[in-house]
Structure 1
């Protein structure tokens, strides 16, 4: 096992020598890496430690060679980049012999615009466009999930509430920078052929200053900035209430906020870590593709309406389907209402293993417990169960389940759940 300290910042080439400028606001971390650690695990650790959630920035992991090795090399030898599993193995092996520090940066997945800029202060290499890698199409049982479109980048929406000041702006040139001295955030645009149109020639998306420094330059504290400040200092949101946010802001920063502001701040902090409900639905095609790729034999389906909006989801892991072949042929189905932003109903199909424990077989998300949704769920469940053996389906007395069961599983026997039956009799 190797123990390696990790810091966040930016490499700079000064006087023919590379130096790493540490971002003190983000602090350092200590990683303990086992032999066989992969590059994917390293990047996940970076996202988790620095609270990146689902962001799609390119994580750049680098380290400087030991002084004893650099003595025989050119003074401008660049830092070593960790880009794959082989490089991770080299890093671990080297850290056992020498004291190393891993450096972490975040770049953007961008393309250079080939069109030349007429701005004398900008060159063509400054023109960036955000891009997405969508080479892999997602397939499951013949269904192409790529037809549902690209997964939305959480950073596509520009931050309309950032603190900025205009510098060196004229009728033909617009330059805006962060108010915090030394922060790299900036945008520059200039007039090209059409005098009425500005072209963005350079855009640095991410702030290198801390959220606390940006708040110091604001006239008021909005829920958005308080949520960012809370995440940057605490990094956790599970089990917290608006009261926790309000008390923390008062004692640590002297910021007094009411309950409504603290509630909205907590909601925004949750979105920073978990993403929004819309982002979750948009990520379903990519998620199902990953699930099918990692779990052979998985049965999944995503159904949308005529407006290409989510309607039904079905998922049965390959391991669950294979394991059911060794269970007693009894399936219990039920549904429960969801309380999220878009509500809906969760449908489940379970069995019982030899230890009398619940064995999950399949899950489904539908708009409600009606004839159409239950029939669709059973039609997908039919792909997970063979008809070569007797089958019993246990449920409550819902008429839609009865209709779907007789249509999709005509050979199966249907039983009524004793708990639900007793509850119906008592009430």
Structure 2
């Protein structure tokens, strides 16, 4: 550039005023920018940069890009003695990659003075259901999402996704729209979902909002082929049904945070992350489930877990109820099969497992959890030789307390069972043996590989 570096300002977006102090981190700054501009970082990457005023006219001095806490402190030190603009640039992210040949990059300036108060600034065409193409110029005709009236005046989500936008996997495509629906208070119905097509529409049958994405042959990528961004339904119709982000979706978004860290974010951290980065409020229990999903996936714990158990029937017919239960997509208990037998024995459990095998095939990624009933163990080994078998820690703890008066040791046993690292497990297990050798031996006899997370062969 012959006249030196400069920023192209998006005057429509305008500026914002942010207040920073010396303790502000890079993540704090990004979170404030995203919140003020309504930026969803699952859809775009943001870049923060500034031009030192004494170097603006030099063609050899490009903008200084802020990428760390140290660089934030450098910026604050610089603006104590002068005034400059902080530029916010957005570009398609890896989660929601642009399908166009040259993705647009928007830049918005942020003014800063010596008090460290900063002024900051802060995307789809589509075919209709009848495949009538909407001109590209419609991208600029964005309805204000906040101005929704009860008469059904449309609000548009063109700044969320675009026709032609690609996603590296179907999981990320679904994640984008789950967050979109929760953030903008509506629900949708999945009309079709397979390896080739993912088609959704507003839960209101009369609404025009809909999305059709198609998978690329020989690839995991999905591309949005058709998109009607306008909701024509009344706002009152949407209040009764709002989609919630699933634990699996959130777990997928935060999974990378557990790959190298010893523990990774806790539930409260996840709540804050979803609030600041994605602009949605979630419950503690949902954050907990998301954390468990992320950790289990990273650690390689089987996703297909079936709990089997039996309970006595107290009606006049007596007998025993056998049941196999799993978790559904909302992390709620879902009974798969059940049956009534005379008693829990080898014959009864073998029959039950054979009936279960009709709907759930044997697989090395499958894991069963049960109490220490020997008939269950035999039936699983016979009907599901590839699957893994673990012992329910709650049953084990009950036995420790009931038969060994080990109430004071139960907490250590639970901690040992949840340890991810073998070194941590050995440390706790040594403490258990020191307190009660009898309980330690019982736990060894129960087979450590079946109740200790770090020893479980299914991991």
TM-score with structure 2 length normalisation? 0.35
Structure 1 or 2: larger strand share? Answer: 1
Normalised by the size of structure 1, how large is the TM-score?
Answer: 0.37
